[in-house]
Structure 1
Amino acid sequence: MDEVVKKVAALGLPGVILVITIATTGLTGAAAIIAALAFLGGPAGMLGGIAILGLTSLISNALAKVILESFLISIYSQRRQTEPHTKLLKEIDFLLLFDLNLKERLKATVKTYTVNIAKEVMVILENVPGMTRAHHRDFISSHPIMRLRDGTVVRTWKNPVGVDHVFLGDRNDRMIYGGFVGWIHSEGLQQALTRIRRDFT
């Protein structure tokens, strides 16, 4: 079951729509696939949907074992770990579900992601080439540039000689991480900050 959830989650919205179509139309086999692909349309059309064919039997078996809600919650639980929450919430609004309460439960699943985001961001920053721990005295000189989903604030500062610093502050504006990189590694830090903004805000 977990393997099926991961494969459907990797497909994103098309996989979710295929699951819903198979579950709600009462169609099986080729009819369910054609209906789902026709619904998806898009630039890839049915040819793009052919890649989904291999998952049809897995999805059918999984749906026979669990109800649609559990299956969708499992998919979104997997996807919320790697995709922006705002994207997933908009996607859930787009889904054609007859049970509006199911949409709310799916949204709650996305919103209750409890992984420690600050720790994940620290790992990303620690992996920037040349990253060196910064002194806490420089934290007060930094300026907020973004707030993460868990309330952690990312702050930056460039010292008088042009060395880039990055800090993480908790909800009470206390430093929980600080680091800096030399000039030659500034681009790596900027790339890490772009990734953090994309994945954790």
Structure 2
Amino acid sequence: MDEAIKKVAALGLPGVVLVITMAATGLTGAAAITAALAFLGGPAGMLGGIAVLGLTGLITDALAKVGLEDFLTAVYCERRNLEPHGKLLNEIDSMSLFDGDLKDRLKLAVTDGCGCKTVVDVYLTDVTKEAIAILENVPGITPAHHRDFKSSNPIARLRDGTAVRTWKNPLGVDHVFLADRNDRMVYGGYVGWIHSEGLSQAIDRIRKDLT
């Protein structure tokens, strides 16, 4: 999937439109390129050579594995390292194909690196890595979406300044997040009801050993 992300990111906006077109229509190959060009209103050169490179096949595989939002998040995570953030934010705002919530989440990927694993890893200290390791060992732990991060509240702060945040959703599912000194999410996870006690014990251990 990394190859698809890098190639779409290199194309910029035309690549993003191609991905959305394929996800929305199910089209592939030349038909997908034609539909994307129709939306862009641009010359064939904007997407020239894609069929030769086999990019539509890579996109199809990536969408099947991770879905549209996660794939677009990965693309913008790649582009945020290559292009001005202001340009990307304006691009996201201008896209009528995005709903409001998706726009907000993609903007967070651009500005804060939310959802960008390769971005947040750079900032992780040994203390935060140890906290993540403790949480990852909780039975049933599942990655949480960054959209739920804003609903969480801080309950403790690690020695390196990382905040431990928790949230229980309306269904009573327990979530835990870690945020860096700039309040950017660097980890998120949740467990089902049967594993809530295990998560609670992990948080207690983090409080005892790492704060």
| TM-score, length-scaled by structure 2 | 0.50
Within-5 A mapping of 1:107-126: 107-113=107-113
CA shift for structure 1 position 48: 3.6
C-alpha contact 2:9 2:78 (8 A) present in aligned 1: yes
Any stretches of 5+ residues in structure 2 without a counterpart? 114-118, 123-211
Q: Residues 39-188 of structure 1: matches in 2 within 5 Å?
A: 39-42=39-42, 45-53=43-51, 54=53, 55-113=55-113
Amino acid at match of 2:97: L
Where do 4+ consecutive residues of structure 1 move more than 6 Å?
none
Report the AA paired with residue 39 of structure 1.
Answer: F
CA distance in 2 between counterparts of 1:30 and 1:7 reads 17
| TM norm structure 1 | 0.52
Q: Name the Cα RMSD after superposition.
A: 1.9
Larger Rg: 1
**Distance change (3 Å), C-alpha of 1:98 and 1:109:** closer
Q: Which residue of 2 aligns with 1:26?
A: 26
Structure 1: tracts of 5 or more residues without a match: 117-201
| Deviation of 1:102 (Å) | 0.7
Q: Which residue of 1 aligns with 2:14?
A: 14
Contact 1:97 1:103 in 2 (8 A): no
Distance between the aligned counterparts of 2:82 and 2:29, measured in 1? Answer: 31
Provide the aligned length of Structure 1 versus Structure 2. Answer: 114
Q: What are the superposed Cα offsets for residues 81-120 of structure 1, whole Å, 9 maximum, x if unpaired?
A: 121110000000122335321111000111104689xxxx
User: Distance in 2 between the 1:31 and 1:50 partners?
Assistant: 13
Residue 189 (structure 2) aligns with = none
